Each structure stands twice: as C-alpha cells, then as structure tokens.
Amino acid sequence: MRLQAEGVELAYDRAVIAKDLTLTIPDGKVSVLIGPNGSGKSTALRALARLLPPAKGQVILDGKSIQDTPTKEVARLLAILPQVLVAPESISVEDLVWFGRHPHRTSLKVPSAADKEAVEWALTVTRTAELRHQHVDQLSGGQRQRVWIALCLAQGTDLILLDEPTTYLDVAYQLEVLDLLHQLNQEQGKTVAMVLHDFNMAAEYADHVFVMKSGTLITQGPPEDVFTCDIIRDVFGVESKVVPHPVSGKPMCIPLRAGLRAQLSVVTG
C-alpha cells in the first residue's frame, strides 16, 4: 500500500487529537473516513496529506517518510483538496485548473505539451471544458467543486485526498461530485480517500470505511462489515436500524427518533 500512517500522534499546539493511530489507505479503492465532530478524521487526513507533521510516529508514502520527502515531490504523487476553498477573484476555470500543474513546473519553464495535455484531460473528465472561460465565482456549487477536482486531477497523481468535499453542497451536487470521484476510481484507477460527514453517502460510495471516534480508529472495513447498529450507536450515539438499500443493496443506516426506539427492542436490528 502506498500511503499509510503508522502509530502517529497528532496534535495542534498542545491539544492532542489522536494517539497511536495507524491507517493504511488501500490502493485503487475509494476509502472514506467517517466519525462525529472532533473524532480526528480531518486531522488524520491532513496528516496523510503532509499538512500536519505528526508529533510521534510517521506517515509513509511509497516507502519513505512523507516528512522527509520534499513538498514538491509529494505533490506529484498525492493531491489534496482541503475543506475551505477560496478562488482568487475573477479567475477563469481554465486558469484555476492550470494551478494543478504547479508541482511539475519550475519558475522559468513555459507550459509544456504534457502540461497542456494534463489540463485538457482534467477539464474533459470533470466535464468542465465547456466552462473553461467562465469565472469560477459565477458557477454553481456542484460545478465549482468539479473545477476544484479538475485542479487536483491536473496534478496527475494517482492518489487523491479530499476533506469533506460535499459538506456545503445541495444533495444534487453532492451526488454529482461523488459520482465523479467514483468514476475516476473505476475508469482511471485513482485511489480516492475522503472525509465524509454523511455516513449513508459513505456506505454508498466507499469500498473501505475507516470509523473514527475521539482520535481513535474504532474499526475499518467494507461498508457491509462496518455499518452495524452497535457501531453506529457506539460511535455516533444514536439508535438506528440498518437495512439494505432498496436499489444498490448497500447498508443504509436509519437513525431512530425517540418514539420509535421502544419498538426496536421488539424487532432485532
């Protein structure tokens, strides 16, 4: 496996978020980190992306400690889409996606054929090519997120990490973005690892799920194994019923409100 965190301790200033955390991102699959607020899922992702140096332990990318690898080299292997994204004022879609080539360009080099190809490909795959001259701030939420993903794709990496890519989007746009990521994984073989807030979305799209709580990895595995009433109750603190999705067959977790919980004891969940 190319990317993993080994026994890392993660902290901001003096507040320790996670202790002795070991996470291995499976290659070629879609992995999702889920957990309640403060579980450390975003922190873990940032550590994997070299944005947060671990206080103890190390993050390994392609056999080397990621901290020892120069930033530029890491950027050619791994792309990160952070949660807060601010586009420069009145920048066109195409210009923004071009930023994705930054790790491959030195200061004095003019854009190469490889650069142009990568940008074109990124725009095509995300279906944002027809928007290329529009200003990013004019786009819809879903379009804008696709453009940011195009930026990451232009980096030409096989590993893509995303921190809550769907959290502020309307549900239609959420599906748009997740479908795109799924397609990238299936057709291009990209390894996708993301933090999602909605555990049902995670169940739908993930091949592998990491469940975190209070800085610890509670469990991991395919959605079928991970989404059980007990784990949901333990991690999220809600009673729920897990049923198979009527169309996809993936586990669907339905939280139960107070009035319904009594009935649960009659039916085995």
* Interacting residues toward other proteins by CB under 8 A: 13, 46, 49-51, 70-76, 78-82, 84-91, 95, 99-100, 102-103, 105, 107-108, 133-135, 138-140, 152, 155
Six-digit token pair at 113?
A: 């054929």
Min CB(83)–other proteins separation in Å:
8
- Could you give the CA distance from residue 126 to residue 151 in angstroms, rounded to a whole number? 10
- Could you give the CA distance from residue 62 to residue 3 in angstroms, rounded to a whole number? 7
Min CB(8)–other proteins separation in Å:
17
Min CB(184)–other proteins separation in Å:
17
- Dihedral sign for Cα 36, 37, 41, 44, please: negative
- Could you give the CA distance from residue 62 to residue 54 in angstroms, rounded to a whole number? 18
Nearest residue (CB) to other proteins, 83 versus 216: 83
Nearest residue (CB) to other proteins, 103 versus 251: 103
Nearest residue (CB) to other proteins, 75 versus 252: 75
Strands 191-195 and 216-221: unpaired
Nearest residue (CB) to other proteins, 160 versus 201: 160
Min CB(103)–other proteins separation in Å:
3
Six-digit token pair at 29?
A: 């699959």
Nearest residue (CB) to other proteins, 11 versus 264: 11
Min CB(225)–other proteins separation in Å:
31
Give which of 193, 196, 114 is closest to 159, Cα–Cα. 193
Strands 208-213 and 216-221: antiparallel
